Chains A and B, each alone.
Chain A
Amino acid sequence: MSNIIINRAENKIDVNDFTRLTKLHLDHIWLTYEPQALFELWCLSDSDEQKNIIEFLIKNFSYMDGRKLAEGSQLIAHQIQHVWNLNSANTFLIATCDDNKPDGSQTLIQNLKNKFDISWKESNFFNSIVSGANEIPTDSNVILVDDFIGTGDTITRKFEYLIRKINERKLNVSSIKIVSLASMNFSNDNLNKLDVEYYSVHWLKKGISELLSDEKKEVATKSMEELEKKLKTKYHGKQIPNFGYKRSESLFALESNNIPNNVFPIFWWPFLKGGVSRKTIFRRV
């Protein structure tokens, strides 16, 4: 990062805007990884309210860099070994990743595996749900691992797949649990329906409707709608998820990983109206 070329400004920026942008860059070093992106986003706004909401959301972003990922992994390993008291002889951690699509759950499980005590082996960890569901032995404890739980839809689907496989293979499973690095508060509703124990290191609130007071919420919602109107409504056949998938309003990113579609699209949607491409703070494939 330190050796990328960062360009000078093309024109003079207003003193207030310059100071606010510089402070954001100073406090959130990850904004500088795509140095033009924040400025482009700032230029999209045509009112102070829109600038305020951009600034507020960035300040409340949960950005997991390598250090936070390692700390989170330590806490998850502690929960599994010392709170749930599960041991290596019959416990298996399975990333929720599909066999052929790399994702953040693999990043997390890769980080997790060396946080356990010496009795745990590579065979306790599966980096895809397909291989995990087909290979776990009977009488085991299974832990589904995902980096981020947004609405809870995906983890529900993966859980149901696992149950189906267990039934097909006629296995007796002692327990199934779920761990994640971060989850949205509102995903509790879906997680509770699964009737299993789960643990998340971070619990996140919706960026606008749960973090702002009632009087500010209305202005912020209107400002975000105005900003989103400037983005292209469809690309690669996908409709823009206004306020994030199912209005999740998420503010979460795992360093170097695909940004979840639960995050407000102003941070990652790559086209403006008219098909003009834009530099974005985060990327999603």
Chain B
Amino acid sequence: MMQLYSEDLEFIKELLNKKEVNLYFFHEKYLLSPAQLARTINKFLEGSLIELHDEKIRLTSKGEEWIICNRKSLFIHERKKYWKEIPSEMKQTPINKDELYKPNRNKLDTEFFKNIEDGK
């Protein structure tokens, strides 16, 4: 299975629902950028799953068959949410239970320590 992004799924859902869709529709409804839409179209054109004529796109019969055959992986499986992943440069080694560490003093809540001193 080719790598699919959320815009690819929006694209094929619309093509399944409507017979023919204009290029601009995907921008108006989903704010797809030109580069994004072009990549999506090229991806599906490569396997002859869609046709593009004069700014209008439609599924080919091969495309319809492909969607039906792959409907489970396309629409039911939870997709990988790449935007939820923490970038590796932001990660650090987790501290073990009961492990000693030196806190960053600038980041300590001074109010909290004042309250302890004051016996609150």
Which residue numbers of A lie inside 8 Å of B, CB to CB?
Answer: 2-3, 5-10, 12-13, 15, 18-19, 21-22, 24-26, 29, 31-32, 35-36, 38-39
Contact = CB atoms under 8 A, between A and B. Distances in A.
27 contacts: A2-B39, A2-B43, A6-B33, A8-B7, A8-B31, A8-B32, A9-B27, A9-B31, A9-B33, A9-B34, A10-B31, A12-B27, A12-B31, A15-B24, A18-B27, A19-B23, A19-B24, A25-B34, A25-B37, A25-B38, A25-B39, A26-B38, A26-B41, A31-B35, A32-B35, A36-B35, A39-B35
A15 B23 CA distance: 9
Interface in B1-42: 3, 7, 23-24, 27-28, 30-39, 41-42
Contacts of B98: none
A21 B28 CA distance: 15
Interface in B31-85: 31-39, 41-43, 52, 55, 82
A38 B27 contact: no
Interface in B69-105: 82
Contacts of A19: 23-24, 55
Contact of A8 (B36, B39, B43): B36
A2 B32 contact: no
Nearest to A37: B35
Contact of A26 (B30, B32, B42): B42
Most buried by A among B27, B33, B35, B52: B35
A55 to B, nearest CB: 12
